[in-house]
Amino acid sequence: MNNLGKIHFQRIIVLAALTVLYCARLAGAADQVLPIFDTHLHYSRPAWQSIAPQDAARKLEAAGVPRALVSSSPDEGSLVLRRTDARRFAPVLRPYRNEVRSGNWTRDPKTPAYLEARLKRGIYKGIGEFHLFDEAGAGTPTVRRTAALAVRYRIVLQVHSGAAALRALFAIEPKVRILWAHAGMSEPPAVIGAMLKRHKNLWVGLSFRAGEIATGDMLDPAWRALLTRNSDRFVIGSDTYVTSRWSVYGELIEAHRRWLKLLPAEVARAIAYGNAVRLFGSGDIKALEK
């Protein structure tokens, strides 16, 4: 082999080595688990007997969830998880306790004082998740005072409602920041998009919506357009509202990862954890960006 042939052969070897290295890096990136900031976790009284706080933390660790917003009925469940792992669990204050529940909390006159006494601790990232079943419920004195507390303490309201009740709440307190649980549960992309355009202080949680966003490896076109157009306004949630959902926690998170992988990488990262970090802070931002 002459010198020219040797040089050509060496170039081939180098190119092949670089190709192998590039493919290995791509494979490694594909194997990386996208971290999730779970913005809709519950640890309420029925779960306390079957799931120890340390077990709850291990479930999140195994699912690749280094940070989560947690609320509970009563509030003590959130606090015990925070004591167990403050970097992972950030409490959200729910108005539900004892006889005060989703169906009557909006008319309970003692709820605002209860909320304010706890908010003074300075540890809560929001008030919620709470239910508003109609526009009238959003206008009660209790809800008005609750919204005013959120503005005063600069925290978010996590609201389970349809679009009409949410519009009523914004009309009462335009400065309030709202995390809309389940994207309204059944509201279509067109309605969600209109709400986001109208209300700049609105963010949208996607728990219970994974099956509509994608089927198999196909993103719904309307959802794709909505998510990419508003990639800075969506967050992920699991919603362990009943104890049985804790037993499939990893599956709930993986259901979101499947459709997130169908989006551009920067959009997926924003929805998976970036938006939630900006809204609620991170116990360890490096853990989210491994």
CB atoms within 10 A of CB 201: 14
- Cα Rg, the chain, nearest whole Å: 22
Spatial CB neighbours of 217, under 8 Å, sequence gap ≥ 6: 258, 262
Provide the CATH number for the domain formed by 35-288 in this structure.
Answer: 3.20.20.140
- Burial profile 228-254: b = 16 or more Cβ within 10 angstroms, e = fewer: eebbebbbbbbbbbebebbeebeebbe
192 in Cβ contact with 223 (< 8 Å): no
Mean pLDDT, the chain, whole residue set: 91
- The domain limits of the chain are 1-32, 35-288
pLDDT over 80 at 101, yes or no: yes
In 3D space, the residue among 186, 75, 162 whose CA is nearest the CA of residue 126 turns out to be 75
Spatial CB neighbours of 215, under 8 Å, sequence gap ≥ 6: none
pLDDT band at 288 (very low <50, low <70, confident <90, very high): low
Locate tokens 């989006």: which residue? Answer: 263
Ramachandran area for residue 128 (φ above 0: left; ψ -120 to 50: alpha; else beta)? left
Tokens of 65: 């969830």
pLDDT over 70 at 84, yes or no: yes
pLDDT band at 3 (very low <50, low <70, confident <90, very high): low
Q: What is the pLDDT of residue 23?
A: 37
Q: What is the pLDDT of residue 285?
A: 59
DSSP percent split of the chain into helix, strand, coil, nearest 5 = 55, 15, 30
Q: Does residue 74 have a cis bond before it (omega within 30 degrees)?
A: yes
Residue 172, H or E segment? helix 163-172
Q: Does residue 129 have a cis bond before it (omega within 30 degrees)?
A: yes
Dihedral sign computed on CA atoms, order 142, 143, 148, 153: positive
pLDDT over 70 at 6, yes or no: no
pLDDT over 80 at 283, yes or no: no
Percent of residues, the chain, with pLDDT higher than 90:
86
92 in Cβ contact with 126 (< 8 Å): yes
pLDDT over 50 at 138, yes or no: yes
60 in Cβ contact with 87 (< 8 Å): no
Find the mean pLDDT for residues 156-163: 98
- Taking the C-alpha atoms of residue 248 and residue 238, their distance in angstroms, rounded to an integer, is 10
Higher pLDDT, 9 or 206: 206
Percent of residues, the chain, with pLDDT higher than 70:
87
Find the mean pLDDT for residues 272-284: 92
Q: What is the pLDDT of residue 20?
A: 36
Q: What is the pLDDT of residue 229?
A: 98
pTM of the shown model: 0.88
Q: What is the pLDDT of residue 282?
A: 85
- Taking the C-alpha atoms of residue 290 and residue 285, their distance in angstroms, rounded to an integer, is 9
Q: What is the pLDDT of residue 19?
A: 37
Find the mean pLDDT for residues 241-256: 98
Question: pLDDT digit string (tens) for 25-61?
Answer: 433 444 579 999 999 999 999 999 999 999 999 999 9
Q: What is the pLDDT of residue 1?
A: 54
- Amino acid residing at 155: I
Helix segments in 32-140, DSSP class H = 45-48, 53-62, 76-84, 111-119, 135-138
Measure CA of the first residue to CA of the last residue in the chain; give whole Å.
Answer: 48
Find the mean pLDDT for residues 256-270: 98
Q: What is the pLDDT of residue 89?
A: 98
267 in Cβ contact with 234 (< 8 Å): no
